[in-house]
Amino acid sequence: MTTDQLFKQIQLKKSFLCIGLDTDFNKIPKILLKYEYPVFEFNRQIIDATAEFTIAYKPNLAFYEVMGTVGWVSLEMTVNYIRERYPEIFIIADAKRGDIGNTSKMYAKAFFEKMNFDAITLSPYMGSDSITPFLEYQNKWVIILALTSNAGANDFQLLTLKENDNHLYKNVIRLSKTWGSEHNLMYVIGATQAEMLQEVRKIIPDHFLLIPGVGAQGGSLADVALYGFNKQCGLIVNSSRAIIYADCTNDFAKVAHTKAQEVQEEMKMLLTQYKIL
Amino acid sequence: MTTDQLFKQIQLKKSFLCIGLDTDFNKIPKILLKYEYPVFEFNRQIIDATAEFTIAYKPNLAFYEVMGTVGWVSLEMTVNYIRERYPEIFIIADAKRGDIGNTSKMYAKAFFEKMNFDAITLSPYMGSDSITPFLEYQNKWVIILALTSNAGANDFQLLTLKENDNHLYKNVIRLSKTWGSEHNLMYVIGATQAEMLQEVRKIIPDHFLLIPGVGAQGGSLADVALYGFNKQCGLIVNSSRAIIYADCTNDFAKVAHTKAQEVQEEMKMLLTQYKIL
């Protein structure tokens, strides 16, 4: 997917919502257990109930790997379902991979060829050759972890470097942005630290940012918009648990629909307010 | 597996070799394609040919994920085969995972419960809560990326921190060692920079180090031993391509046997020389 196609989706749906498919087998309604692939069935119903409000889905790999082969099948079925039914939607593998060059090449093949994801999250710790093999694919995206929304973000990402008196996460952004462009690189910036978006925007005004941590992990959408918007929106805001587990009864999909709509309406208001639509 | 059990294996086999099962479907001999799971069959033959010389196997997840579901099945079959046939051997998931706490808990479950790995490699970028869920398992190990053997290691790992004038990778070791002990934490230290092992040993004299980069990635075993040995050996040295792809004909397993034996003999010599046996 190209930047223009992504922005077009944002304009059409008046939304910059990504729904995280962190589907935990133990949390889905019992009624789904009659299906051969209950996690896929849960995803399918969530997707059908929310597709009109969201521009992206983001399955988190851990939740599929924990089920072994069945999980891997459920993941492939989910990606294929979105691809066929909602071809306009951006699909992110929340995989946080990163390895030496020849191994990263394999991961790129796994996520961009074997499975047809549009984007993958990657950890920057191993440096350039762990990232660049993914950037060789046309119209595919790399989303680099810069500043994450968890407590552990303080341990290393916010340490200051002697070389330039800047935080590590800023150095990650500064160097890695030279490996690609705003048309194939995005960054994860945790919304728990929305004012830091201002700092980030000084370095990368044009890149898209993937913002986790709105919803169950805290963080205000209005703050994120204030500090993070650029003229093509430039934000993809993720919500996982607050939408997919808003209700744990057989009404889960209906309630997810309502929750996604609520978020989309707030997004529409913000997009209008900042004259992005 | 406990530290004592691991050291006992080292003494019995007079080896600290780990064989990396980076099994690329496109590189295995054509004769194996008649099997339902050719990658498993390749692994099985490599394992049977080398088990007497090695204390650990390390499948690299990328090489299995690239094959989708079939790859995941081949990986599970490989782990189960080692477990049943060679229960004394340490099995490392070279997965380089790392995510927020509740997701890392899922990854821990995936690799330590669903699959019965002894250890997993993790990226430290997201900090403590991305690592600690793995440390709650008895007799399981976390292997944290500290200084890797690829060119990209220079990009961030070797940056100097203002706080203490030390490299980032040393800060990773210093902080993360407080999350566990030498009985459940190991570190990846690239052998391309063997003299840096001396520095590492000042911070963690007792921890095991996983050393990639001997063999195809360069690095001298004698140097690694000189700078890295402790009284319980303290080293697991990995070789992947130099053993499993030493020969690409139908004799691959026989040649892998010979190559593994050559490395083991050099290791035996070093263990004897440093009075570790």
Question: Domain locations in chain A?
Answer: 3-273
Minimal CA separation from A12 to chain B, in Å: 32
**B257 pLDDT higher than 90:** yes
**A61 pLDDT higher than 90:** yes
What is the average pLDDT value for chain B, to the nearest integer?
A: 95
Confidence of residue B274 (pLDDT cuts 50, 70, 90): very high
Tokens of B60: 């690299």
Could you list the beta-strand ranges (E) of B157-247: 185-189, 208-211, 235-239
Q: Residue range B129-136: average pLDDT? A: 98
Confidence of residue A191 (pLDDT cuts 50, 70, 90): confident
Q: Which of residues 46-65 of B touch A (CB under 8 A)?
A: 60, 62-63, 65
Picking from A60, A106, A157, the nearest residue to B125 by CB comes out as A157
Confidence of residue A192 (pLDDT cuts 50, 70, 90): confident
Tokens of B219: 């690095």
pLDDT at B218: 56
What is the average pLDDT value for chain A, to the nearest integer?
A: 95
**A32 pLDDT higher than 60:** yes
Q: Residue range B4-26: average pLDDT? A: 97
Tokens of A145: 């972890």
pLDDT at A120: 98
Minimal CA separation from B275 to chain A, in Å: 34
pTM equals 0.97
Would you call A70 an interface residue with chain B, using a CB distance cutoff of 8 Å? no
**B175 pLDDT higher than 80:** yes
**A166 pLDDT higher than 80:** yes
Nearest of A85, A75, A73, A82 to residue A22 by alpha carbon: A75
Minimal CA separation from A266 to chain B, in Å: 27
**B192 pLDDT higher than 80:** no
Q: Residue range B121-129: average pLDDT? A: 98
**B245 pLDDT higher than 90:** yes
Q: Is the distance from CB of B179 to CB of B185 less than 8 angstroms?
A: yes
Q: Is the distance from CB of A54 to CB of A89 less than 8 angstroms?
A: yes
pLDDT tens digits for range B53-109: 999 999 999 999 999 999 999 999 999 999 999 999 999 999 999 999 999 999 999
Does the beta-carbon distance from A156 to B129 stay under 8 Å? no
pLDDT at A216: 54
Homologous superfamily, domain A3-273: Aldolase class I (3.20.20.70)
Q: Residue range A105-122: average pLDDT? A: 97
Picking from A62, A106, A161, the nearest residue to B66 by CB comes out as A106
pLDDT at B168: 98
Q: Which of residues 245-274 of B touch A (CB under 8 A)?
A: none
**Cα B64 → chain centroid:** 16
Contact residues, chain A, for B123 at CB < 8 Å:
96, 98, 123, 125-126
Confidence of residue B219 (pLDDT cuts 50, 70, 90): low
CB pairs under 8 A between A and B: 197
Alpha-carbon span A169 to A221, nearest angstrom: 22
Q: Which one is predicted more confidently, A19 or A191?
A: A19
pLDDT at A96: 98
A241, burial (CB in 10 Å: exposed 0-12, middle 13-18, buried 19+): middle
B87, burial (CB in 10 Å: exposed 0-12, middle 13-18, buried 19+): exposed
Would you call B230 an interface residue with chain A, using a CB distance cutoff of 8 Å? no
pLDDT at A128: 98
pLDDT tens digits for range A207-237: 999 999 776 555 689 999 999 999 999 999 9
pLDDT at A219: 66
pLDDT tens digits for range B204-217: 999 999 999 676 55
Would you call A79 an interface residue with chain B, using a CB distance cutoff of 8 Å? no
